A and B are shown apart, each in its own frame.
Chain A
Amino acid sequence: MSFLTDDPIDPRALVERVLRDSDGAYVLFEGVVRNHHEGRPVESIFYDAYRPMAEKEIANVVREVEAQFPVAALAVVHRLGELTVGDASIAIVAASPHRAEAFAACRMMIDRIKETVPIWKKERGPDGEEWVGWQGRC
């Protein structure tokens, strides 16, 4: 199953994919496009990825979180392409018999994905466009 999609995310389908009768909680995280970044207005974001590598890296993160929280059931999907304010760019579901592991596993998933997965975003607004994280670094 692919972790990447070019279509709008259906979070309910993601929940249904992982939820088990033994789960007492699930945490659903959605990252959404906001209308500002570092004081500048943002109208849309273009998400780019090194797709085959991003699939592998997300799979690595899932394995890592599963190892840390064996009781959790996990699902994640990241959307690519052109998104506008309010659109979900990523959805993560972590289900667990008890809430503590669901919160912790979901948090670890999003944090690790942001660190390692080769996905990039170009923010567009009235002031122009910019690849986030590139200026002044490297």
Chain B
Amino acid sequence: MRSMKVRLLFFAVLRDIAGTDARDLSLDDGATARDVWQWMRGAYAQLGDYTQPPMIAVNEQYAAPETVLRDGDELAFIPPVAGG
């Protein structure tokens, strides 16, 4: 059952790949951040080889891939950071 929505944000290389800053996803109850990465691999061919997700942020905080998402969450995959 599709019963929740999350906002997926794209940054850096992932924004270039997705061609957009953000999109809303409808997910099944119990979906994890890792599940969304698997969806990303299917949706964007350039990510197909990346079996493991990069770092993950849920609601602007680092989170584990197994984090169960909730309705209204803001999710971002964090490519290797390069600040400084």
Residues on A facing B (Cβ under 8 Å): 31, 47-50, 52-54, 56, 78, 89-90, 110, 113-122, 131-134, 137-138
The answer to whether B81 and A118 have CB atoms under 8 Å apart is: yes
* Residues of chain A lying within 8 A (CB to CB) of residue B83: 47, 49, 54, 78, 90, 113-114, 117-121
Task: Say whether chain B's binding surface is mostly helix, strand, loop, or mixed.
Answer: loop
Query: At the interface, yes or no: B68 with Cβ under 8 Å from chain A?
Result: no
Q: In the complex the two chains form, what is the Cα distance from A118 to B52 in whole Å?
A: 19
- Closest Cβ of chain A to B59, distance in Å, is 9
* Residues of chain B lying within 8 A (CB to CB) of residue A110: 84
The answer to whether B79 and A134 have CB atoms under 8 Å apart is: yes
* Residues of chain B lying within 8 A (CB to CB) of residue A137: 80
A120-B12 CB under 8 A given contacts A114-B84, A133-B80: yes
Measured CB to CB, the nearest residue on chain B to A50 is B11
Tally of A-B residue pairs with Cβ under 8 A? Answer: 80
Measured CB to CB, the nearest residue on chain B to A120 is B12
Q: In the complex the two chains form, what is the Cα distance from A102 to B52 in whole Å?
A: 39
Interface residues of B in 20-56 (CB under 8 A from A): 50, 52-54
* Residues of chain B lying within 8 A (CB to CB) of residue A52: 60
* Residues of chain A lying within 8 A (CB to CB) of residue B64: none
Query: At the interface, yes or no: B18 with Cβ under 8 Å from chain A?
Result: no
- Closest Cβ of chain B to A54, distance in Å, is 8
* Residues of chain B lying within 8 A (CB to CB) of residue A48: 11-12, 15
* Residues of chain A lying within 8 A (CB to CB) of residue B76: 50, 53, 118
The answer to whether A119 and B82 have CB atoms under 8 Å apart is: yes
Q: In the complex the two chains form, what is the Cα distance from A134 to B16 in whole Å?
A: 12
- In the A-B complex, the 8 residue pairs with the closest CB atoms: A119-B83, A133-B80, A120-B12, A131-B13, A53-B60, A132-B82, A114-B84, A134-B13
A138-B52 CB under 8 A given contacts A50-B57, A90-B84, A114-B84: yes
